Amino acid sequence: MSELSSTTGNLEVPYTPPPVTPKLPPREWIRANLFSSPFNSTLTVVSGLVILGILRGLLSFLFNPIRQWDATATNLRLLMTQAYPEEQYIRVWVSTAVILILSGLSLAVWRAGSAVPLSKVGRNLVATGATMALLTLLAPFSASATVQWLIASAVVAAGGEGIRRFSAIRSGSVGSAGSVGSGGSSGDDGRTVTTLTLLGVALTGLVVSLWVVPYGHHSFILDRTPRVMAEPGTVAMTTKLPWTVMLVILVAAYFLGRSLRDRLPTNATRATLLVSWLLAPPVLLYLVLRDPSFDMGHVLGTDLPIFGAYAVGGAVLLSWLTRPTTGEVGRIVAALVLIVGFCLFLQPMRMIVRIDMLMLACFALAAPTFAGGQRARRRYVVGWLGVLGVSSWLITAINTPSTVDVPGDFFMGGLSLTLLVAIFTLVVSFPLGILLALARTSTMPIFRLLATWFIEFVRGVPLITILIFFSIMVPLFLPRGMHLSELAAVVVGYSLFSAAYLAENVRGGLQSITRGQHEAAEAVGMTTGQKTVFIVLPQALRAAIPPLVGQCIGVFKETSLLAIIGLFDVLYIARAVMPNQTEFMGSTRENVLFVSLIYWIFAYQMSKASQRIEKRTGLGER
Amino acid sequence: MTQPTHSSSTGSSNTHAAVSARVPLWRDVVVLKWVTQVALLAVVLGTMWFLASQAGDNLRARNINTDFDFIERPVDIQLGEGIDTHPDTGGRALWTGMVNTLRLSIAGIAVATVLGVIVGLARLSDNWLVSRLASTWVEVLRNVPLLVQMIFYFSVLTTLPRVGLDTGPINGWLHISNKGISMPRVFIADGFYQWLVVVLIGAVAARFVHRRRTRIHDETGANTSPMLWAIGTVALFGLVGLFVHPAFSWLGGVFGAVAELLDSLPVIVPQVVLAAAAIGLAARWILRFLAAHRSARGHLALTDDDWFRVIFTAAASLAIVFLVVRWTGLSSWILNSGRDLFHVIEAKFDVDGAARPFDAMRPDIVQKGKFPNYGVNGLTLSLGFAAVFFGVVFYTSAFIGENVRGGILAVPKGQTEAALAVGLTRGQVIRRVVLPQAFRIILPPTGNQYLNLTKNTSLAIAVGYSEIVQVGTTVFNQTGRTLPVVAIWMLFYLSCSLTISVIVNWFNVRMQLVER
C-alpha cells in the first residue's frame, strides 16, 4: 500500500523540462568548443588537418576519371534482383507496391513522425550548403564544374536561409540574424513541419529528378553480341515510370490510412497491420515473386480435404479444451494427441498430415493457458485456423514448381536475397530464441542444461563455420527422398545461430522482471503458462528491445557472409560477378563501396529507429 | 484450492511425503515436471540418433570417409604464409592455420583495445571537432558489415605499387607495396628463456616491493607510489638480466630430469591423479553446495532441482573416473606430451653462453627469378593479413569505443563532484575515482568484443589469408574429410572462446567491488 501511494505521489510531480542551455553566438561557440585551452587548440588543428586530408582523399577517389561508376549504374538491376526475367518484372514492382502500401498505412496508423521547427530545417540546409561548398573546393574538379557546384551549394544555403527567415517572420520573433537561432530553437513559438513532410518532399524531389536531371541511360543490350549502352540523357522510361507510380502509391496509402485511422478501432487496425507485415514476406515470395503453377487437381483432391479435416477436427477439439471447466482430462487428452502425433510422424505418409498433427498437438498442449470466456476461446480457435491455413498453403506452394525461369538455384539474388534471408532468419529465430531463453531460465534442470549447452556452443564458434557446415553437410543428414535447397539449409543454420544470440538478449529481459511480478501472477491463480505468456514475456521483451534491435542489425549485416559460401547476395555480385564483366574489369572497389553504402543506410536507419523506440517507451530512464 | 507446488512443500521431507501421498500421480507437479523433461530429452536424443544414423548411411552410400587419418597423411598444400608454408601433413597444415589465427587475434585484440580507448575518449572530448570525428568513425564503421570492409581494404591494398629493389617510403626500414607492408622486427633469440627466468624472479621481487611500499603508505600516509616501484623493480631485473642470464643455463638440466621422470612413470599414476581430482573436486562442490543450503538449525532444504545438481555432479565425476580408467590412451598421451614439452623446454636452455635474449632485423628485398620480393628478414604483413587486421581492428575499435564511452558516462556524477570536493585534482579524479569504476563496467562487454574479434578473423577466408577456416577448406577440398575438419574448427574456436572468457572473468572477479 505504501509503495502504491508513493508511486502515485511521484506521478503528481509536474514534469519540468531540463534547462535549455542558451545557444552561444558563433565566435564564442568556437572559442568554447574548439580553442578553450592550448591543448584543445592543438587538437583542433590536428584533427582539422586529418579531416581535411581524409575528405580530400575520399573525394579524389570518388571523382577520379578512372573510376568506373558506370559499372554500378549499368548493373543496378543485377544488384537488386540479379537475373529476374525482364518480362515478369512486374512481379517485383507489385511486391514493392505491397510493401509501400503497408508502410504508408503503418506510418499513418502509428502516427509516425514528429514536429521539427522550420528554423532548424533552415539552419541544417545552410550547414549543408556550406559543407557542399567546402567539399567542392576540396574535390579535384575542373574550373567549370567547381563553379557549377558552388552555385548549387549557394542555392541550397540561400534556400535554407530563406526558410529560416520565413519561419522567424511568421512566428513573430523580432531580432537580427544572430539572435534568431536562440529564439527559434527553445520553444514552440517557431513554425514547425513534421518529419513525414520532409521525407515526402525529399522522396518527391528524388523522383522528379529522375524525370528532369540527365543522369544518363545505362543498360546491357542483349543482342547477339551483348554490349553496354551508356548514353547521356534522362533515365529510361522503365525506371522512372514505375518509381513515380510507387511514390503515388505510398502517398495515397498514407492519406488513406490517415482518413481511416479515426474511423476504425485502433487496436484492431494495428493488429491487422502487424499480421499483414508478418504474412507479407512469405506471401510475396511464394505467391507473387515465385509464381507457383498449382496443380489444381491435386490441390482440390488432396490438400483441401486434409486442411478441412484438420480445421474442423482441430476447431472442435480446441474449443472443448479451452473450456475452463474441462479440467485435467483436457491435459491428458492433449498429451494423447502429442503421442499420436509422434507415432504418426514415424509412419510413412504425407508430410503435410504429419506436420499438421504435430501442430495440433502443440496447440492442444497450450490450450489450457488460453482457457477463458466465449471470446477468448473463439480467438484461440481462429488463431489455429489461421496458422493451419497459412502453413498448409505455404507447404503446398513451396512444393509447387515455379514458372519464373532463371538460371541457378534460386530465382532471386542481390539485395532481394540479402533482405529475404535476413527477414526469414529473424522470423524463424525469434520464437526459437524466446523458447531457448525460457528454457535457460527454467527451473527444470534438463531443459536448462540443454538450452545452456546449445547456446554456449553456438556462441563459441564463428558463423562462417556453421554456414559452411550447413551448406555442405545438410543433404547428408536428411532421410532419403527429402530435399532441402542450399539456401534453405543455410537459412536454417543461420536461424539456429541467431536464435542463440537472441536467447541471451531475451534472457537479459527476463532477468529484469522482479520477483514480485511472478508472485503477484501466482497469487491471482495463474498457471505457469499463463504467467509466462501474459505477465512475464510482454515485460521482458519490452525491456529487451534495444539489444534485440542491435541483434537484428547484426543479422542483417552478417548476411554478407553468404557471399563466402557462393550464394548470389549483393556482396557476391559486387565482388565476384561485376568485376568479371568484360566492360568493367577490376571495378571491385567502386562496387564494394556502393554496397557498403547500401548496408550502411539500412543499418544506420535501424539503429536510429531503435533509439527513437527507446526514447518513446522511456526505456533506460526508469 | 490451488495445486501444491513442490517448492512450497519442501519445508521438510515429512510434509512433502504427506502431500505427495494425497495428490494423484498425474497431478503431482514434480512427477509431471520430470516426465516432461525426460520426454524432451528422449526426443532430442532420438532426433540426434536418427540424424546421425541417416548421415552414417548416406556417408557409406556415397563412400565418404570421416576418419581423422588425414592429420598424419601427406597432403599437397601450399599456404600463403605461416610457420610452415609447405606442410607435410594435414595436421601440420591445420596447425599452421591455427597459429595464423592466433597471431591475427592477439595482435588485433591489442591494437583494437588501444584504438578503441582512444575513440571512446575522443567521443567524450570537449573539443567539438574531435568528438564529431570519433562519432563519425563509430557510426560509419559499426554499420557496415565487417566482410564488406575487409574486401574494400583488400581491393585498395592490391592497387599499391609493385615491389621494386629500392622502394618504400623509407628504404631499408619500411616498405609498402602490393606484396604487403614490411618493417623491421624484433624477435626473441636463443638466450630469451634464460632471460625470462631472471624477469620472473624480478616479478616475485616486485611483489614484495609493492607490498612493502603499500604498507609504508598505510602506516605513514606518505605518497610511496608502490606501482611505480614494482614496475621499476621488474625493469631493473630485466636490464640486469640482459648481462647475467647465462647464469641460468643449468635450468635446462632440471627440465630434462623432469622429462625423464615423466617418461619413467607408469600409466597408472596420471590415471589415479585424474580420478582423484575428479572425485575430490566433485565432493568439494557437493559439500559446499549442501552447506550453503543448510538452514541455521541444520535442516537440509533441497528442491528437486538441487537434488538434480548434486546427483548430476556426482554422476559426472564418476563418468570421468570411468573414462580415465577405461581409456588408458588418454593417460599415456598426457605423459608423452608432458615429456615432449619438458624436452622442448630443455632444448630452449641448451644454448651457448653468449646468446642474446633479443635480436632485431631490417626488412630486405631479394630477387629470386624474375620479380623482386620481400625476404625473410623483416616483419612482413601480407596483403591478406593487412586487410583482415585493419578490418577487425577498425570494426572492433568502434564497438570498444562505445563501451568505453558508456562505461565512463555510467560513473555517477556525484563521484566526480565528491572527489573534487575533497580536494583531488582533475587528474587524480580521473585516475583514482572515475577510471577504476568505469573499468568495471567496460570490462565485460569488451571481453565479448574480444571473443567477437577472434571469431571474426574467420572472415579472412574471403581475402585468402591462411587462417584455420581457409586452411581447413583447402584440406577438406583435397581429402574429402569435411566432417572431421568442421569438428576441429569448432573445437579450436570453442577453446579460444573458453580461454578468453576465463581470462576476462578472472579480471572481472578481481575488479568487482567487494561489497560489505
CATH of residue A470's domain is: 1.10.3720.10
**Nearest chain B residue (CA) to A447:** B37
Torsion of CA A217, A218, A220, A225, to 10 degrees: 80
In a domain, A460, yes or no: yes
Interface check B436 vs A, CB under 8 A: no
Contact criterion met (CB < 8 Å) for B33 and A457: no
* E strand residue ranges, A508-597: none
Nearest to A560 among B133, B148, B490 (CB): B148
The answer to whether A243 and A210 have CB atoms below 8 angstroms apart is yes
Residue A233 placed within a domain: no
Which positions ≥6 away from A482 have C-beta within 8 Å? none
Q: Check CB contact of A62 with chain B, cutoff 8 Å.
A: no
Q: Which run of H or of E encompasses A271?
A: helix A266-283
A222 pLDDT band (50/70/90 cuts)?
A: low
Domain count of chain A? 2
- Tracing cell 522470423 back to the chain, one arrives at A427
A525 CB near a chain B CB, below 8 Å? yes
Break chain B into its structural domains and give their ranges.
7-61, 98-184+380-511, 193-358
Q: Are A444 and B145 inside 8 Å of each other by CB?
A: no
Nearest to B127 among A40, A596, A604 (CB): A40
Whether B27 and A328 lie within 8 Å, measured CB to CB: yes
Q: Are residues A362 and A424 in the same domain?
A: no
- Looking at mean pLDDT, say which of A36-50, A180-194, A477-491 comes out highest: A36-50
pLDDT for the residue A2: 42
Tell which of A400, A432, A467 closes a domain: A400
Please spell the DSSP secondary structure of B169-233, one letter per residue: SBTTTBEEETTEEEE-EEEE-TTHHHHHHHHHHHHHHHHHHHHHHHHHHHHH-----HHHHHHHH
Partner-chain residue, chosen from A47, A447, A596, that has the shortest CB–CB distance to B144: A596
Mean pLDDT to the nearest integer, A338-345: 84
Same domain, A516 and A578: yes
> At B7, is the pLDDT very low, low, confident or very high (cuts 50, 70, 90)?
very low
Question: Tell me: the pLDDT tens digits for B446-475?
Answer: 999 999 999 999 999 999 899 999 999 999
* pLDDT in the model for residue A619: 52
* Residue A318: closest CA among A390, A405, A381: A381
Q: Are residues A453 and A333 both part of a single domain?
A: no
Alpha-carbon gap: B273 to the closest alpha carbon of chain A (Å): 28
Q: Say if A79 is an interface residue toward chain B (CB within 8 Å).
A: no
Question: Is the CB of residue B2 less than 8 Å away from at least one CB of chain A?
Answer: yes
> How would residue A185 be classed by pLDDT, with cut points 50, 70 and 90?
very low
Q: What percent of chain B has pLDDT over 70?
A: 94
Out of A225-229, B251-255, B455-459, pick the least confident: A225-229
* A345 shares its domain with A429: no
Cell numbers describing residue B502 = 576465463
Chain B residues with CB-CB distance to A562 below 8 A: none
Q: Searching chain A, which residue's CA lies closest to the CA of residue B481?
A: A473
Name the H helices within A410-444: 415-440
| Angstrom distance (rounded) from CA B401 to CA B392 | 14
Q: Which of A171-185, A435-449, B18-32 is the least confident region?
A: A171-185
- Of the partner residues A34, A328, A462, the one whose CB lies closest to the CB of residue B455: A462
Looking at CA atoms only, how far is residue B508 from chain A in angstroms?
19
Answer whether residue A182 shows pLDDT above 50.
no
Please say if the pLDDT value at position A479 is more than 60. Answer: yes
Mean predicted lDDT score pLDDT of chain A:
84
Instruction: Find, in chain A, the residue whose alpha carbon is nearest to that of B476.
Output: A472
Rounded CA-CA distance A269/A256 in Å is 13
B175 phi and psi angles, rounded to 5 deg: -125, 130
| Contacts of residue A421, Cβ cutoff 8 Å, sequence gap at least 6 | A487, A490, A491, A494, A559, A562, A569
Contact across the interface for A477 and B55, Cβ inside 8 Å: yes
User: Which whole number is the average pLDDT over B357-377?
Assistant: 81
Please tell me whether residues A610 and A504 are part of one structural domain: yes
Q: Mutate one of A480, A578, A596, A605 to test the B interface: name it (highest B CB count within 10 A).
A: A596
Q: Is B307 on the interface with A (CB under 8 A)?
A: no
Q: How far is B512 from chain A (nearest CA, A)?
A: 20
B27 close contact with A: CB closer than 8 A: yes
Residue B474 touches partner A, C-beta closer than 8 Å: no
> Looking at the structure, do residues A432 and A578 belong to the same domain, yes or no?
yes
Q: Same domain for A551 and A592?
A: yes
Q: Provide the 10 A C-beta neighbour count for residue A435.
A: 15
On whether both A417 and A469 belong to a single domain, the answer is yes
> Does the beta-carbon distance from A462 to B458 stay under 8 Å?
yes
- Residue ranges of B 30-89 with Cβ closer than 8 A to chain A: 33, 36-38, 40-41, 43-44, 51, 54-55, 58-59, 62, 64
Q: Show which of residues 340-399 on chain A sit within 8 Å of chain B, judged by CB atoms.
A: 342
Q: Work out the percent of chain A whose per-residue pLDDT is above 90.
A: 35
Are residues A439 and A567 both part of a single domain? Answer: yes
Is the distance from CB of A503 to CB of A451 less than 8 angstroms? Answer: yes
Å between A209 CA and nearest CA of chain B: 27
Q: Is residue A94 part of a domain?
A: no
Smallest Cβ–Cβ distance between B40 and the set A447, A525, A603 belongs to: A447
Q: Which domain holds residue A312?
A: 300-400
Q: Quick check: A564 and A381 in contact, CB under 8 A?
A: no
Chain B interface, mutation test: which of A465, A492, A614, most B Cβ atoms within 10 Å? A465
Phi and psi torsions of A193, nearest 5°:
-140, 145
As a dihedral over the C-alpha atoms of residue B296, residue B302, residue B306, residue B307, rounded to 10 degrees, the angle is 130
**CATH number, domain B98-184+380-511, options 1.10.3720.10, 3.30.428.10, 2.40.10.120, 1.10.390.10:** 1.10.3720.10
> Would the pLDDT of B1 be above 70?
no
Give the confidence band of A183 by pLDDT, cuts at 50, 70, 90: very low
Q: Are residues A464 and A317 in the same domain?
A: no
Quick check: A299 pLDDT over 90?
no
pLDDT bracket for residue A463 (50, 70, 90): very high
Nearest CA in chain B to A592: B152
Q: Are B275 and B321 in contact (CB under 8 A)?
A: yes
3-state secondary structure (DSSP) of residue B150: helix
Name every chain A residue with its beta carbon within 8 A of the beta carbon of B127: 33-34, 40, 43-44, 47
Cα separation, B404 vs B409, in Å, equals 9
Asked if residue A137 belongs to a domain, the reply is no
Closest-approach residue (CA) in chain B for A559: B145
CB contact under 8 Å between B459 and A564, yes or no, is yes
Whether A489 and A391 map to the same domain: the answer is no
Q: List phi, psi (to 5°) of A531.
A: -60, -45
Q: Is position A28 within any domain?
A: no
Residues of chain B contacting A34 with CB distance shorter than 8 Å: 127-129
Q: E strand or H helix at A510, and its extent?
A: helix A486-511
Is pLDDT at A346 greater than 50 in this prediction? yes
Q: What is the pLDDT of residues B144-191, one digit of tens each?
A: 999 999 999 999 888 888 877 666 677 778 888 888 888 888 888 888
A422 and A380 inside one domain: no
